[in-house]
Amino acid sequence: MARKYFVEAFGCQMSFHDSERVAGLLEQSGYEPAAAVEAADLVVVNTCSVRERAEEKLYSRLGEIRELTAGRETPPIIAVTGCVAQQEGAALIRHDPAIDVVAGTQALTQLPALVERRLAERRPAIDVHPYEDVSFPLGMVRHSDPVRAWVTIIEGCNEFCSFCVVPYTRGHERMRPVADIVAEVRAAAASGHREVQLLGQIVNHYQAPDDPSCDFAALLERVAQVPGLARIRFASPHPRHVTDRLLAAIRDVPAVCKHLHLPVQSGSDAVLRAMRRRYTRDEYLTLVDRAREVVPGLSISTDMIVGFPGETVADFELTLDLVRRARFQAMYSFKYSPRPNTLAMKRLADDVTEGEKTRRIVALQRLQAEIQIAWHRVAVGSTVEVLVEGPSRRRAWELTGRTTGHTVVNFAGPMAWVGQLVPVQITSAEPHSLRGEAIAAGAMAEEAGHAR
C-alpha cells in the first residue's frame, strides 16, 4: 500500500508554490495525498519566516499535529521544510526532538531521500545545503488551484533590504532559463489553467540566462503567446526595476493584467535609507504618476511597514502623506518585527514600542480603508471582466473572481463558469470587494451547458 502524505504551507505565494512542487515530488516518489493530517504517513510543514513569530507558529502547529495523531501505532514522519528550516537547521530538532526531517529552501528536491534516510538510520535527517540547482523537472508541480498556476522564474534575492530575511533563507539570485519557464506555462495552460502568476523575490529583475535579449518585459510578451492563457500576473516587483519597457508591456499585451504591485515600505526618506531601499519618496511618487500615465486604468497596490527602528512620529506622518498622494487601490501593511540575521536586527535597536506600532498601523489602515472604498464606489455602474475563480467564501450560491486590476468581485452564477472570463456590471461597493450581476447570464449559462 502506498504511503500517504499531507503538506501544510504557511506564508507567501512562493511558499505555497513550493508546497505544490513538494506534493508533485512526493507523488512521483510513490506517495498518495492524504485527506487530513490524521491519515498521513508523512506530514510536511512548509514554513515561511518573512513575518514575526514564524518559529512560534511552527512549534504550536507541531504540537497540534502530535495531538491529532496521538494513539496511532506508527506515528507519522514529521518534516519541516522552507525558510524556517533553512534559517534554523538542526536547532529545530534540539527545540522539538519529534521532528524527523529538516529540509531547507534549496534542498526541497532531496525530501524523499531524506525521509528514506530517516527511516533507515532511525535518526533525524537534515539538509540545509545551499544547492545552486533548485529546479524541478517539468510536470512535477501538483497545482492546487484549478484556475491559477504559479510559476517561479527567479530564486533568491541580492537586494539585502535591511528588514528582509529572504536573502538569508533563499540564497542569492538565480534566474531560470526562459525556455523552461515557457514550457512550464504551456503545460499549465494545457491542463486548463487560465491564469499564470510569475513569481520571484524581485520578479522584474529577470534576465534570461539562456537568451541575453530576454528581460522581464520580453518574458511577459513570450508567455502571452501561449495558447489558452487568459491572464498573466507577477509578484513581487521592486520599484527600482520598473522600466518603461515593462510599463509598455503591461499597457500593450492584452493578457498582462493592469495591476502593478509596488512595495514602498515607508514614506520617509530617512526610513527608506535605513531600510536600504535605494529610492526616495519623490522618486517613488514620480514612478506611480508615470505608471498611471503610461497605463490608463492601472491599479497599484503596495506593502508598508510601520514602526521600523528609528521611525519617528514625523516619519510616520510622511508615510500617511505618501498614501494620500499615491491613493493605492490596495495595501498590505505590517508592524515591524526583527528577523534573524538581517542588518536591521544586527545594527538597529527596535525602539518603537509595541503600543505605538499598533497605533500607527491602525491609523494607516483606517486611511487606506477610506481610499479603497472610494475607489470601489467609483466602479459602481461600470462593467468589468472577471476571471471566475470559484465559489464565494461567504455565500455558497455566489461566484468570486478578480478584475484585471486584482479587485475581488462576487456575483451569482453557476459553477460551470469557473475559469471563464465573465462580464459583470458592478452594483455595489464593499470595503474589500465589489458585488455585481453577470451580463447576459442566460446566454452564458446556455453556452456553459453546451460545453458540458
DSSP string, 274-293: HHT----HHHHHHHHHHHHH
| Phi-psi map region of 32: left, alpha, beta (phi>0 left; psi -120 to 50 alpha) | beta
| Phi-psi map region of 341: left, alpha, beta (phi>0 left; psi -120 to 50 alpha) | left
Task: Sketch the domain layout of the chain as residue ranges.
Answer: 4-127, 148-378, 380-451
Report whether 44 contacts 85 (CB < 8 A). no
Q: In this model, does residue 47 exceed pLDDT 60?
A: yes
Reported as a pLDDT band with limits 50, 70 and 90, residue 449 is very low
Q: How far apart are the C-alpha atoms of 413 and 397, rounded to whole Å?
A: 7
Which residue type sits at 247?
Answer: L
Region 289-310: mean pLDDT is 98
The confidence score (pLDDT) of residue 132 equals 72
Give the SS3 label for residue 82. Answer: strand
Strand partners, 44: 7, 79
Question: Is this model's pTM higher than 0.75 or not?
Answer: yes
Q: How far apart are the C-alpha atoms of 92 and 10, rounded to whole Å?
A: 17
Strand partners, 68: none
Q: Do domains 4-127 and 380-451 have the same CATH topology?
A: no
Region 94-116: mean pLDDT is 93
A 10 A CB-CB count for 2 gives 10
One-character DSSP codes across 223-261: HTTSTT--EEEEE---GGG--HHHHHHHHH-TTB-SEEE
Q: In this model, does residue 92 exceed pLDDT 50?
A: yes
CATH number corresponding to 4-127: 3.40.50.12160
Q: In this model, does residue 255 exceed pLDDT 60?
A: yes
pLDDT tens digits for range 381-409: 999 999 999 999 888 889 999 999 999 99
Q: In this model, does residue 445 exceed pLDDT 50?
A: no
C-alpha cell at 69: 495523531
For domain 380-451, the CATH superfamily is Nucleic acid-binding proteins (2.40.50.140)
Architecture of domain 148-378 in this structure: Alpha-Beta Horseshoe (3.80)
pLDDT tens digits for range 187-221: 999 999 999 999 999 999 999 999 999 999 999 99
Q: In this model, does residue 332 exceed pLDDT 70?
A: yes
